[in-house]
Structures are given as C-alpha cells and as structure tokens.
Amino acid sequence: MMNPFLQVALGGAIGATARYGVYQLIPAHGPGFPVATAVVNVAGSFVMGVLAVLMAQRIGNHYAPLLLTGVLGGFTTFSAFSLDALTLWERGQAAGAAVYVVASVLLSLLAVIAGLAVGRGIWA
C-alpha cells in the first residue's frame, strides 16, 4: 500500500493536470463568466459522490487519499472559484457574482447528490 502522503501528492498532480486540460478546452472566463471553474467544480462534485459510494460499498477507503484528497482536491478549485467571484464583483458585475456563487454551490451540491445516486445505483 502506498504511503498516504505519496497518494495525495500523486493524485494532486493528476487532478491539477486534468484541471489545466479543462481550462485549455474551455476558456477560463467564457463570455464574462468563469465557465471552466464552474465545470471542474460541478464535475468534481459529481465524481466525489460516485467515488464515495464506490469506496463505501466496494473497495474501502485505502485509496481515499489518492482519489478524493489528491485527484479531486487538485481538480476542483475552490480558491479559483473565490477569486473568480471576487473578480466579477470588482468588475461591477454584482449580479453575475451572486449568480455565479449561488449556481456553483447549488450545482455542485446537486452534482454530489447525483453522483451518490449513480454510485448507489451501480454498487449498492
């Protein structure tokens, strides 16, 4: 079994690289809106839900440091989310900032719920 610190380091490198790939595919700030950041946060939340069930139901938590803390921690971007929201605010786009914060949080929560449901449907 790999050392948990090495799992986090390896997973973080994988997750950050995947996030960078998404940013290359989707402009970080689409039409005045941080689309790529929202995409990685919502997708990461969905995958978190699926993996949480997979680990709880099938494989155990031995790879939680690699997959949850490392890969998904490196992939999702709460700090980038915070900066994007503040940037919208500072540009005078208060409504856009509010929509971004509320939509990101709600969609990410819904994505975790959906991921849990999918995971339970597959492995429960």
For residue 90, what are the domain limits?
4-123
pLDDT band of 34, cuts 50, 70, 90 = confident
Amino acid at 26: I
Residue 46 has pLDDT above 80, yes or no: yes
Per the structure, how many domains does the chain have? 1
Alpha carbon 81 to its chain centroid, in Å, reads 10
Tell me how many degrees the CA angle 6-12-17 measures, rounded to the nearest 5: 135
Phi-psi region of 31 (alpha: psi -120 to 50; beta: other; left: phi over 0): beta
Average pLDDT over residues 100-111: 95
Model pLDDT, residue 71: 96
Model pLDDT, residue 122: 95
Model pLDDT, residue 30: 59
Average pLDDT over residues 90-113: 96
Q: Do the beta carbons of residue 71 and residue 15 sit within 8 Å? A: yes
Model pLDDT, residue 78: 86
User: Token match 């997973």: residue?
Assistant: 11
